[in-house]
Amino acid sequence: MTKGKVVWLVEDSQEEADEYGQLLERAGDIEVLFVSVRPTIADYADLLADDQTGAFIIDQCLDEYTGVAYNGIGLAEFLRSLRPELPIFILTKYLDEGLEDQGGSVEAIIDKKTVRKRGEIYVKRILRGIEHYQATLTDKQERLGYLIDRKLSGGLSEAEEVELQELRAYIERPLGLTFAHHVDKWEAELRGQEQRLEQLEKIASNFRDSIRKVPSTQD
């Protein structure tokens, strides 16, 4: 069930990500891939639309050295809002009661100091989470396909029509968010280019005016 699925490890340090990823891979049948910190939480939506995605492990202190406006729990809550069944684990060096109180949106909080000793236990939890997530996602996709076929043949009840729309929203939400986010970025870049062009035109206009004001040296 978990074949071909990867665990995305979001870390601000690739060196640490490689270290913990290798420890987990040695502890069980799991593939861990590094994801660098992205400017906003919306920038991770494309990973939810990736068929490879099986689970996330997220460093809690993403904002400590990168300057981003979110931490691991914040990213987990965003991902959970799009995929409620997605298995998410927080990775931290600073396990305390305050962090545990915030951990309701994740499967578990992993203490970095225990990964070497308890790696097999963590991998088993991750694999169980992936199996459940994949089964849920497959069921929803198959049900969506069935309802679409029924709709094309003109046989949907009112309740099934509502279910169809809800399933489409669930499946397509990450894709829509990814597209909308990229559109926003393109529009922002376009506005920036237009502003720079206006500034250049203003500089050129001022330069032309200054040339006109220079007295002629000819009689």
For residues 3 and 174, the model is more confident at: 174
Q: What is the pLDDT of residues 99-128, one digit of tens each?
A: 766 667 799 899 999 998 999 999 999 999
Q: Which residue has the tokens 């071909």?
A: 4
Q: Is residue 38 part of a domain?
A: yes
CATH number at residue 95: 3.40.50.2300
Q: Alpha helices of 4-114 — where are they, by DSSP H?
A: 14-27, 45-48, 63-66, 72-82, 97-101
Q: What is the pLDDT of residues 134-152, one digit of tens each?
A: 999 999 999 999 999 988 9
**In terms of residues, how long is the chain?**
219
Q: Is residue 139 part of a domain?
A: no
Q: Alpha helices of 83-114 — where are they, by DSSP H?
A: 97-101
Confidence of residue 198 (pLDDT cuts 50, 70, 90): confident
CB 92 within 8 A of CB 61: yes
Question: For residue 186, is pLDDT > 50?
Answer: no
Structure token digits, residue 29: 């049948």
Query: For residue 81, what are the domain limits?
Result: 6-130
Residues paired with residue 32 on neighbouring β-strands, in sequence order: 7
Q: Which residue has the tokens 């909080």?
A: 109
* Domains held by the chain: number: 1
CB 17 within 8 A of CB 9: yes
Q: Is residue 165 part of a domain?
A: no
Q: Is residue 100 part of a domain?
A: yes
**What is the number of other CB atoms lying within 10 angstroms of the CB of residue 75?**
26
